[in-house]
């Protein structure tokens, strides 16, 4: 008589297997994102016109210990010298000669007013200090190169953490690695992460908030409440529009709670408290400087004010909000021309539809008491919350400008983890990830890299 399998229970999984299962996707994704980011940086000599000049000035000053820049702060010598020598991509402004011994702020955009000043941001400290050490370790790089690499490290770290979280949710190393690569290598995401720009922290911020929310049942209530409040406040201090992430834990916990409506509301009081604190931080960061009464000296502030020449258009607001359903699909040539090549632009559209479709399917077909349904709803909520919150802020301060689609990147980790919670078969996800890598290989083929 043969022994049955029940007589020989499976051996317990070794303790180290769980660690390895998280580290492998993280390292694979980190390496892929850093490779692409460094290659992109090597093709991009000039400053990005998307406020990189102002962000670099704040970063350089933070690296020297100047952590708070008042409203109407003028740009410093480091930023002016670098822009005079490196130039601005896709800009017509005439810059001073690189050989000049001194520079005047009035000769640069916005008359030398640092439009990023007046609002505290942890991004500049977290980017500037590592950039200072990177520049010292690599003397052939200037501070712009070093700051871009420091920013790219944050992007790669966020993508790596996303891969680890996706691996845990999906129960598959291959799926987790593939999701990290797919999201971390969106051309638009790389375009922001490989420049000096707070949006490079979008993947890190979104992944941390979702992952911490899913740990609620394993943490004491007080620890969870304090931790979530601190994390939301920190990311709001990194970039103000990250405040939309406050909707994620409220949505997820409310859906996964038991009981009727009022019981669910009582269940999510830690998330509501954390969201309230993040809104207070947002108000302190964005509204308080406006209440100080000092008007901005930057010419752009007058251009963006609602006026007959720049009218508020409700129809345009609605159209842009719905267009944000695919926040990672846009032509990134304004920042990085190499990332607008057909292999990458076509890949971005396909992969964006692939990801967002998983959330739509989750809302339509998943059971309402599952993580897949909760994450799917949270993903769609975050996608629409980002533009609506941005336009609400514009209306409150009487300004209007087109919605920057990069503000929606914080929704990407929520979308990606919804796909992971679906636990798809490995082959399709791995196939898409492999396609992403191949598109980059084609786009970068034959490049003569300066940054090497």
Alpha-carbon gap, residue 395 to 279, rounded angstroms: 17
Q: What is the pLDDT of residue 242?
A: 96
Task: Dump pLDDT digits (tens) for 259-309.
Answer: 888 999 999 999 999 999 999 999 888 876 666 667 788 888 888 999 999
HSE, side-chain direction, 13 A CA sphere, residue 403: 32
Q: What is the pLDDT of residue 297?
A: 83
Residue 351 has pLDDT above 50, yes or no: yes
- Of the candidate ranges 83-87, 101-105, 324-328, 363-367, the one whose mean pLDDT is the lowest: 324-328
The pTM score is 0.92
Instruction: Collapse the DSSP code of 137 into the 3-class scheme (helix H, G, I; strand E, B; otherwise coil) and give the result.
Output: helix
Q: What is the pLDDT of residue 10?
A: 55
Q: How confident is the model at residue 195 (pLDDT cuts 50, 70, 90)?
A: very high
Alpha-carbon gap, residue 152 to 101, rounded angstroms: 31
Alpha-carbon gap, residue 250 to 231, rounded angstroms: 14
- C-alpha torsion sign, points 371, 377, 381, 384: positive
Name the one residue in this structure whose structure tokens are 């043969």. 2
Burial class of residue 402 (count of CB atoms within 10 Å of its CB; 0-12, 13-18, 19+): exposed
Residue 328 has pLDDT above 70, yes or no: no
The residue-averaged pLDDT of 92-121 equals 88
Residue 130 has pLDDT above 50, yes or no: yes
Q: Terminal CA-to-CA distance of the chain, rounded, Å? A: 68
Residue 3 has pLDDT above 50, yes or no: no
Q: What is the pLDDT of residue 341?
A: 77
Residue 9 has pLDDT above 50, yes or no: yes
The residue-averaged pLDDT of 242-252 equals 97
- The count of other CB atoms within 10 Å of the CB of residue 104 is 12
Alpha-carbon gap, residue 350 to 328, rounded angstroms: 11
Instruction: List residues bridging with 70 in a β-sheet.
Output: none
Closest C-alpha among 78, 335, 328, 351 to residue 191: 335
Q: What is the pLDDT of residue 1?
A: 44
């Amino acid at each position: 008589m043969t022994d049955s399998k029940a007589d020989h229970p499976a051996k317990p999984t070794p303790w180290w297997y769980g660690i390895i299962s998280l580290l492998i996707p993280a390292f694979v994704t980190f390496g892929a994102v850093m490779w692409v980011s460094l290659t992109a940086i090597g093709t991009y000599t000039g400053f990005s016109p998307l406020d990189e000049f102002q962000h670099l000035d704040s970063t350089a000053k933070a690296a020297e210990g100047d952590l708070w820049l008042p409203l109407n702060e003028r740009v410093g010598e480091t930023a002016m010298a670098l822009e005079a020598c490196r130039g601005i991509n896709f800009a017509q402004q005439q810059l001073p000669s690189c050989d000049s011994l001194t520079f005047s702020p009035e000769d640069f955009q916005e008359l030398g007013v640092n439009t990023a000043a007046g609002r505290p941001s942890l991004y500049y400290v977290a980017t500037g200090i590592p950039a200072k050490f990177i520049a010292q370790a690599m003397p052939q790089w200037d501070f712009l190169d070093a700051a871009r690499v420091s920013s790219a490290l944050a992007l790669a770290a966020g993508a790596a953490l996303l891969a680890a979280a996706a691996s845990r949710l999906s129960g598959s190393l291959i799926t987790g690695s593939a999701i990290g690569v797919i999201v971390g290598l969106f051309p638009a995401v790389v375009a922001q992460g490989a420049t000096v720009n707070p949006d490079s922290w979008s993947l890190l911020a979104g992944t941390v908030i979702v992952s911490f929310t899913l740990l609620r049942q394993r943490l004491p209530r007080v620890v969870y409440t304090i931790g979530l409040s601190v994390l939301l406040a920190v990311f709001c201090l990194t970039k103000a529009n990250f405040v939309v992430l406050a909707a994620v834990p409220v949505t997820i916990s409310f859906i996964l709670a038991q009981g009727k409506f009022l019981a669910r509301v009582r269940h999510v009081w830690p998330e509501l408290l954390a969201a309230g604190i993040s809104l207070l931080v947002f108000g302190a960061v964005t509204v308080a400087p406006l209440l100080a009464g000092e008007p901005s000296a930057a010419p752009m502030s007058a251009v963006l004010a609602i006026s007959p020449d720049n009218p508020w258009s409700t129809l345009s607001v609605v159209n842009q909000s719905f267009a944000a359903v695919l926040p990672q699909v846009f032509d990134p040539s304004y920042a990085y021309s190499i990332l607008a090549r057909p292999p990458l632009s076509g890949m971005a559209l396909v992969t964006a539809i692939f990801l967002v479709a998983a959330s739509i399917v989750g809302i339509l077909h998943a059971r309402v008491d599952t993580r897949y349904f909760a994450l799917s709803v949270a993903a769609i909520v975050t996608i629409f919350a980002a533009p609506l919150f941005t336009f609400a802020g514009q209306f409150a301060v009487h300004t209007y400008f087109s919605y920057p689609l990069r503000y929606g990147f914080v929704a990407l980790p929520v979308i990606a983890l919804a796909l992971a919670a679906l636990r798809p078969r490995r082959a399709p996800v791995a196939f898409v990830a492999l396609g992403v890598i191949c598109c980059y290989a084609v786009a970068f083929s034959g490049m003569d890299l300066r940054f090497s």
